[in-house]
Structure 1
Amino acid sequence: MLLLGIDLGTSSIKVSLVDGATRQTLATTQFPDSERSIISLQTGWAEQDPELWWEDVKAAVRRLHQTGKFKSADIGAIGISYQMHGLVLVGKDGKALRNSIIWCDSRAIPYGDEALQAMGADYCLQHLLNAPGNFTAAKLAWVKVNEPDIFGKIYKILLPGDYIAQRLTGTMTTTPSALSEGIFWDFTAGKISERVMDYFGFPDDIIPDIQPVCSDHGRLTKAVAEELSLTEGIPVCYKAGDQLNNALSLNVMEPGEVAATAGTSGVIYGISDQLTFDPQSRINSFAHVNHGNDLTRVGVLLCINGTGILNKWIRQLTGAQDYETMNDLAQKVAPGSEGLAVFPFGNGAERMLNNKMPGAGLQAIDLNQHSAAHVIRASQEGIAFAFRYGLDIMRANGMAPAVIRAGRANMFLSPVFAEAFVNATNIPIELCDNNGSVGAALGAGIGYGYFKTPADAFLEEDRLEVLEPTRAADYEHWYQSWKEKLERQLMY
């Protein structure tokens, strides 16, 4: 059986087709070719049009057909990975009522902070595992106050993956995992938090039917099947947030296992069998894809919003032709960037900085010494140092990885970034061949029951390379200098 995976990213849609019997990827495509933009109507706001996501999904699937590497009649299940924390509001017709308020939007912070004070930090952390912050529930509260006409038209609230699934199937469902990333889920009670719903004044019926991550979320409609040259009735068997899906694609499923990614956002994501939380909610805990009332599997997540967007901004600023050219230029500068420091915090509020928005920045510029190559290298080192800063918070909360698994993709394609990451964290990294849409396809196989257990989806070794720290002491010195500059900036 063939498995179709869809990865709804911030920049583009990726789709892959995997042969379930061999676990081999038959074809992968992407749409659009250039990075999709974020709508920012005010400072700190971030939106995208869900209808554009849907058009991009269809275009990516059509490209997949054009590869000619499979028979569409052999596709038996569909899985979806999606950008986390986005709010999609739909009417009864399933169409979006407004743009999605996406993951890096910061407008709802005051609503989340007020909820924390009203409901109490003890309740929020012990039951929700997080402060409400600017997650999905707080974003919905912003809409309720500022756009009451739209709020009154809401039939259901959906996460981005829920939205794409319902466009495929006509069925609206969500998952405990999705609700946990929106800060709607009471882990202690194992259900939607009545206290959250009551505090914000949300009607219960705006939440779709709740299904496990790996389960039947609807069947492909006749109209969509005809439009996309697929078979009517194919089930959507898996929906997971991108970081949870990245962990699944790296076979990070059990306590102590840790995954990382450095794409649009930078993330370290570790698995715990405890209902764990950070007292300051600088790192966050969500229900992993295999979490259930009878099996505690919590994903502890560190997020750096400004990772990929900084790399893109530096590319535009320096006029580099492509990212490979940037990486080549970065290698011409000595480690430490001769004192230049870059801070990757210019894409909304950073949770690990207590929801502060210090902005991205460059410090200690020597106009006689530093070149574009220095800026490129310092930006990649700065992102690696931000990972280390967050990892120390995770360590203080009991997460102590002995090894980190990551896909050899995005910024991990840069030797400079990979070296800085492994030495700044002083943790070996296993680089693997993976991508989000392949993970979603394997998730579909798990949800369909094609694989008897999640482990059965990963019979083949996918490790490409292991990177060991070789200059940890040097990078510790440069990191401490970077950290001192950052903490001085955060004081103001």
Structure 2
Amino acid sequence: MKYVIGVDLGTSAVKVLLANQKGEVCAERAQDYPLIQEKSGYSEQNPEEWVVQTILALKELVGTAKVNTNDIEGISFSGQMHGLVLLDEGHQVIRNAILWNDTRTTEQCDEIKSELGESLLKITKNPALEGFTLPKILWVKENEPELYHKASVFLLPKDYLRYRLTGQIHMDYSDAAGTLLLDVVNKEWSKEICELFQIDDDLCPQLVESHAFVGNLLPEIAEQTGLNPLTKIFAGGADNACGAIGAGILTSGVGLCSIGTSGVILSYEEDHSKDFEGKVHFFNHGKQNAYYVMGVTLSAGHSLSWFKDTFATADSFEEIVEKVNEVPIGAKGMLFTPYLVGERTPHADAVIRASFIGMDSSHERDDFVRSVMEGITFSLNESLVMFRDAGINIDQMISIGGGAKNDTWLQMQADIFNAEILKLDNEQGPGMGAAMLAALGCGWFTSLEECSKQFIQITKSFQPIQDHVEKYEQLYSVYKDVYLQTKGLNEKLKAFRD
């Protein structure tokens, strides 16, 4: 039996899994690392933490799996998008990575909009938002010029990790699409954008397909992990592209709901001529010559983990959500908006912050938990509504991540989205997508579609309950009003956050 490894470099932890040719997960390990948040709106990580913890996770995986490492043929990667890693001429890290959920770059986004105008959407298919990479590059250029002038190349998080394992520098199209520097349709770095902002071409790494072979393990990494140095390494993709692959979103008609630290509503697309007016993201897929449309809630699972860390540190997530099904729809008249670090879709707003609306002294912890879960799902529904308004027909959705681990939440998704929700057997999210890219790269299959038939199985479905759908439609209209009512208040409060 042959095997591949999927490495998912997330925001809070790196997860590695070993899959065999049947698509069975034989072993998995995870190691976490901290966020660095010096100020409100700042979010960074030390890239060295990714490398150390990944090597440790791989070592533990190899030790646990007890398979012949000569039979582990390939490794591929999924990674948190947008994060900026700057390397000097010796390929040493210049500063901490600035992450996707960092919102310091509002001025740079305004500059990009002003300078590029309508050309931005024509080239990149996406608006200028604080989370993207180009604003981060410009922020460093303007605020840390001595560091910027040392930079010889920029990478995204998983690309830096892969470089440290192989010594080779590349970036795949699906992750590059989230930089605001890629010409998405023509699949090349935009000379117009680089020239306009005086970014040297050499700062942009070589582009490759997600299933492309990019090298072998360095001998010292092989020694540290116990893997064979001849193990083939493949480029991999952005976490959302890999999440789509790992859920089998490879044809039109089926959507994806992924609830991790952030939350994503995603749909497969092949027609690059559709105009979404920048209201949702349009990125290159991990599948060659395909795209995906995506809406993002910045604080999805993060909202629930924040609640746990703040109010229920002694309890597990399972304990926190255990009695949510006993709380009525609407959490007894309380709504939560998940804007803990601002919002992405449909409100590109770095200033807005979260709210509980309708609290009274009768509310108990379980009511708050249900309110948080409903608020996250309402936020995701805003993206789904825009997809449907644009003519994308989605009646069936696959749910992955934290939102797929609780049946009450899965039914909530079916009712709020008014769609059938499918749960995967042994769902592994982006890590499975990375493993599938490695399997394709190793030649086990001729296409990702063929691979998905072997690797992906549906285990459970949830149908919308009409009475619930109607109640949630009423609540959703109130939920949408909360943003409009609190936007001005949060702008006034901004001065007090630092």
User: For the superposition of Structure 1 and Structure 2, which TM-score range results when normalised by the shorter chain?
Assistant: over 0.9
| 2:31 aligned residue | 31
Alignment counterpart, residue 439 of structure 1, candidates 433, 438, 455: 433
Structure 1: how far apart are the matches of 2:137 and 2:253? 34
Give the Cα separation in 2 of the matches to 1:192 and 1:157.
13
The one-letter amino acid paired with 2:351 is: M
TM-score, with structure 1 as normaliser: 0.94
Q: Structure 2: which amino acid aligns with 1:251?
A: G
Distance 2:163 2:103 in 1: 27
Give the structure 2 partner of residue 484 of structure 1: 481
Distance 1:315 1:329, change over 3 A: farther
Aligned pairs (5 A) from 1:234-249: 234-249=231-246
Aligned residues: 481
Indicate the residue corresponding to 2:43 in structure 1.
46
* Residue aligning to 2:8: 7
CA drift of 1:75 comes to 0.9
| Contact 2:269/2:291, CA 8 A, preserved across alignment | yes
1:337 aligns with one of 331, 337, 347: 331
How far 1:280 moved relative to its partner? 5.0
Structure 1: which amino acid aligns with 2:107? P
Aligned residue in 1 for 2:471: 474
Q: Letter of the aligned partner of 1:25 in structure 2?
A: V
Contact 2:249–2:268 (8 Å) recurs in 1 = yes
Cα offsets for 1:41-97 (capped at 9, x unmatched) = 221111111100111101111111231432212111111000011111112333321
State yes or no: 1:168 paired with 2:154. no
How far apart are the structure 2 equivalents of 1:42 and 1:224?
A: 35
Is 1:130 aligned to 2:126, yes or no? yes
- Residues 278 and 375 (structure 1 numbering): CA distance in 2 closer, same or farther, change over 3 Å? farther
1:328 — aligned with what?
322
Question: Aligned equivalents of 2:333 and 2:471: distance in 1?
Answer: 13
1:456 aligns with 2:457: no
Structure 1: how far apart are the matches of 2:153 and 2:82? Answer: 15
Partner SS state of residue 27, structure 1: strand
Contact residue 321 and residue 366 of structure 2 kept, 8 A: no
Alignment of 1:211-222 (within 5 A): 211-222=208-219
Q: What is the CA–CA distance in structure 1 between the aligned matches of 2:376 and 2:152, rounded to whole Å?
A: 40
The reply to whether residue 105 of structure 1 matches residue 102 of structure 2 is yes
Aligned mates of 1:418, 1:459 — CA distance in 2: 23
Q: Quick one: structure 1 residues 26 and 200, their matched pair in 2 at CA, closer, same or farther if it must change by over 3 Å?
A: same
Q: TM (normalized to structure 2)? A: 0.93
**Counterpart residue type for residue 129 of structure 2:** G
* Aligned residue number for residue 140 of structure 1: 137
Structure 1 residues 383-404: Cα deviation after superposition (integer angstroms, max 9, x where no partner): 1111112221222233331211
**1:276 and 1:88 mapped to 2: Cα distance?**
32
Give the aligned partner of residue 419 of structure 1: 411
C-alpha contact (below 8 Å) 2:55/2:221 kept by paired residues: no
Give the distance between the partners of 2:92 and 2:51, measured in 1 at CA. 11
In structure 2, list runs of 5 or more residues that go unmatched.
490-498
1:405-446 residue CA offsets vs partner (Å, 9 max, x unmatched): 123x41222233222221111011111132122221111111
List aligned pairs for 1:336-355, cutoff 5 A: 336-355=330-349
Change in 2 beyond 3 A, CA 1:284/1:211:
same
The amino acid that maps onto 1:149 is E
Could you say if the C-alpha distance between residues 398 and 41 of structure 1 is closer, same or farther in structure 2, counting changes exceeding 3 Å? farther
Which residue of structure 1 lines up, in the alignment, with residue 495 of structure 2?
Answer: none
Match of 1:281 among 278, 282, 295: 278
- Which stretch of structure 1 is more off in the superposition, 472-481 or 168-177? 472-481
> For residue 387 of structure 2, what is the aligned residue in structure 1?
394
SS at match of 2:177: helix
Q: Does 1:69 align with 2:66?
A: yes
Specify the code of the residue in structure 2 equivalent to 1:146. N
Match of 1:381 among 365, 370, 374: 374
Say whether the 8 Å CA contact 1:27–1:69 is kept in structure 2: no
Q: Partners of 1:109 and 1:394 in 2: how far apart?
A: 26
- Local SS of the residue matching 1:483: helix
- Output the amino acid matched with 1:181: G
Aligned 1:285-324 pairs, distance under 5 A: 285-292=282-289, 297-319=290-312, 321-324=315-318
Deviation (angstroms), 1:380: 0.6
Instruction: Confirm or deny: 8 A CA contact 1:350 1:357 kept in the other structure.
Output: no
Deviation at residue 255 of structure 1 after TM alignment? 3.0
Measured after TM superposition, the shift of residue 301 of structure 1 is 0.9
Matching of residue 410 in structure 1 with residue 402 in structure 2 = yes
Shift of 1:258: 1.8
For the Cα contact (< 8 Å) 1:165–1:217, is it kept in 2? no
420-429 vs 109-118, which deviates more? 109-118
Q: Distance in 2 between matches of 1:162 and 1:194?
A: 22
Counterparts of 1:346 and 1:37 in 2: how far apart (Å)? 18
